[in-house]
Amino acid sequence: MMIMMGRSLNELFEGKVLTWREAAGVVVFVVVMAILQSLHSLINRVWWEPKKLQRIMEKQGWKGPPFRLFVGNMADVMRFREREMAKELSSIRDFTFTARLHPQYALFSSTYGDKSFFFQGDQLRIFISDPHLVKEVLLNELGNYYRPEGSILHKIIPLVGRGLANLNGEEWVMHRRILDPAFRVETIKGMVGTMVIAAESMMETWEQRIKDRKGSIEIEVTEDMRIITADTISRTAFGSSYTKGQQVFEGINKLRSTFVEASNNPLFWMSGYRFLPTAINRKIAKLKRENDETIKHVIQSRKELAKLGKDAYGNDLLGLMLIAADEDHVKAANGTKHQLTTQDLVEECKHFFFGGYETMSSFLTWTMLMLAEYPEWQECARTEILKVCGPKNDMDASKLNQLKIVGMILNEVHRHFTSVLQISRVAKKDMQLGDNFVPKGLSIEIPLLHIHHDPRLWGEDAWQFNPNRFANGVSKACQHPQAFIPFSFGPRHCIGQHFGMMESKIVVASVLLRFQLSVSPNYKHCPTTLLGFIPSPKTGVQLIVENLKPNVL
C-alpha cells in the first residue's frame, strides 16, 4: 500500500521522491482530512440537514417541537405515552386509546394542528392525514416516495429480515415481481384447506379442555392466536417441513423479546445504534445467525430435492418463491439483470414470517375480543357462517367470499385496531404535494390509526364499534375511499392482504361454529403496542369459551 501510495504521490509531486518522514506526514494529513470529512458529513446529517428541512417547512406554515440533537423528540413522545397509558379506559367499548398506541401524532397534532412535524432521531417527519394527499403519496408509481431507511422496520432488521418492506428502488421492483405470484388471490385460494387444518387443530385443543373441565373454560386468546398464526404460516410457507417453520417462530419470539427490551432504551431510537457492539446488539446478532441457519437449511434441502424431480419445490409459499426465482434465473441468463440469491430468500422468508405473524395474531386477538364484547355481532356472524358453510365447517374460497357480515366485522376491527399504525415514506427528490413544497429527504408519516378515527371522515360515531357502516362497501362507509386503508394501497400495498383476509375468515368461522365467546371478568382492557407499532393487549385477552348450545346448530 505504501508503495502504491508512493507512486501516486510521486505523480502528485511531479516525480520528486519523498522521504519516509515526508510520506508519513502526507499519510497523517490524509487521515486527518478523512476524519474531518466524516465529521463534516456527520454534522451535516445530524444537524444541518434536519435544521434546513425544518426551516423550509416552517416557512410554509408547518409547526413542531424544537429540535434535539441525536434523540430528536422521542423522549417527549415516550413521556406522553406513559401519561396516556396511566389513564384508565372507561370500558372495552371505549376506543379513545389511539393516543397511547400512536402517541407521536396525538401529541404533536393536538399541539401544532394538522400541519405538524416532529423529529425522530435526526429525521424531520411531517404528518399527512388528508386522504387526498395520502393518495398522492401512496399512488406515486414512479417511486418518488420511498420507505425511510431509519424506520422502525430498519431498526429491527435482524428480526423482520431485509425483505420487501425494507427495500427500495430496483431491488424492491425485482423482489416484488418475483414474489407477487405466490400471494395472488388464485394461489391463496388453494391454501384454504391448509389454513383450516391449522385453525381446526387449535379448536380441537379448546374442545378437549372444555371436555376436561366439563363446562366453560377461560382462555388467554393472545397466545392461542399466535399459535394458530404461526402454524398457518409454517404450513402454508414450509409445507411438509412445517416443524422447521415452528423452530423459526421460536427464534422470532426470542428475538422479539430481545428487541422489546432494547426498545425501552431511548438510545435505541438514535440512528446507527444497532451498529454499536453493545451486549444486547451482540445477543441479537447471535439469535439472527441461528434463525438464518434454520431457514437456509430448509431452502437448501428443497434445492437438493429439486435436482431429483421437477415438482420437488412443492406448491407451498416457499416452493412458489423458489420456482419464481428459478424462472427469473432463466430470464437472467437471457439478459435480465437481477436474481434472488439464497440469502435473499432467507430474508424474504423471515419477512413473511414476521409480517404475517405479528400483524395477524394481533388482529385475530382483537377480533376475538370484539366478538365476545358484542354478542349481537357474534350471533349475526355465526348465523351467516352456518348458512354459508354448514355446521361441519365445510369451507372453500368461494364460500369464504360470501361471508359479508364477517367481512364487515373484520373491517371494523381493522379500523379500530389498525395493525400497522402508520406508514412512512421519504421524498426522493423535491416534490409538490397538494399546496406544499416537499423538499428531497423529507420524511412523511401517514397515521393510519388516526385517519381511521377522524370524525370528519367517519362521522359522529367514529369512536363506536359499528360494523354496519361497511354494509354497502368501504366507499359508502366513509367520506373518502382512502380514509380506510389498513393494508395500505398503491404499488407498495400489503402483499399478504388476501392471505390475511382469508385466514381471518377461516379462524372466525372455525371458532364461531363450535364455541360461544364472552369476556372474562379477569380481562383488563389496556391496549398498548409491541415494538412501538403493533397494537397488543398489555396483559393478554382472557375470554370465557363454552360449547354452543345444541339448539344453535
Binding site for ligand HEM (CB under 6 A): 138, 163-165, 176, 351-352, 355-356, 359-360, 363, 419-420, 423, 486-488, 492-496, 499-500
Sorted by sequence, the CB contacts under 8 Å of residue 52 that are 6+ apart come out as 439
| C-alpha cell belonging to residue 290 | 441461528
| Closer residue to ligand HEM, CB minimum distance, 76 or 316 | 316
| Closer residue to ligand HEM, CB minimum distance, 128 or 210 | 128
DSSP string, 434-494: TTEEE-TT-EEEE-HHHHTT-HHHH-GGGGS--GGGGTT-HHHHSSSGGG--TT--STTS-
Q: What is the largest CA-CA distance in the chain?
A: 102
- Distance between first and last Cα of the chain: 82
Q: How far is CA 183 from the centre of its chain?
A: 16
CB of 134 to ligand HEM, least distance (A): 10
CB of 359 to ligand HEM, least distance (A): 4
| Closer residue to ligand HEM, CB minimum distance, 365 or 516 | 365
| Closer residue to ligand HEM, CB minimum distance, 381 or 423 | 423
| C-alpha cell belonging to residue 147 | 420507505
CB of 236 to ligand HEM, least distance (A): 8
Sorted by sequence, the CB contacts under 8 Å of residue 300 that are 6+ apart come out as 342
In whole angstroms, give the CA distance from residue 239 to residue 326. Answer: 19
Residue 32, judged by CB atoms within 10 A of its CB (0-12, 13-18, 19+), counts as exposed
| Closer residue to ligand HEM, CB minimum distance, 352 or 484 | 352
397-423: b or e for each residue (b if 16 or more CB lie within 10 Å)? bebbeebebbbbbbbbbbbbbbbbbbb
Question: Which H or E element spans position 11?
Answer: helix 2-12
515 φ, ψ to 5°?
-130, 155
Residue 472, judged by CB atoms within 10 A of its CB (0-12, 13-18, 19+), counts as exposed
CB of 412 to ligand HEM, least distance (A): 13
| Closer residue to ligand HEM, CB minimum distance, 251 or 447 | 447
User: Among positive and negative, which fits the CA dihedral 494, 497, 500, 501?
Assistant: positive
| Closer residue to ligand HEM, CB minimum distance, 221 or 423 | 423
CB of 365 to ligand HEM, least distance (A): 11
CB of 239 to ligand HEM, least distance (A): 15
CB of 76 to ligand HEM, least distance (A): 26
CB of 420 to ligand HEM, least distance (A): 4
CB of 348 to ligand HEM, least distance (A): 8
Chain position whose Cβ is nearest to ligand HEM = 496
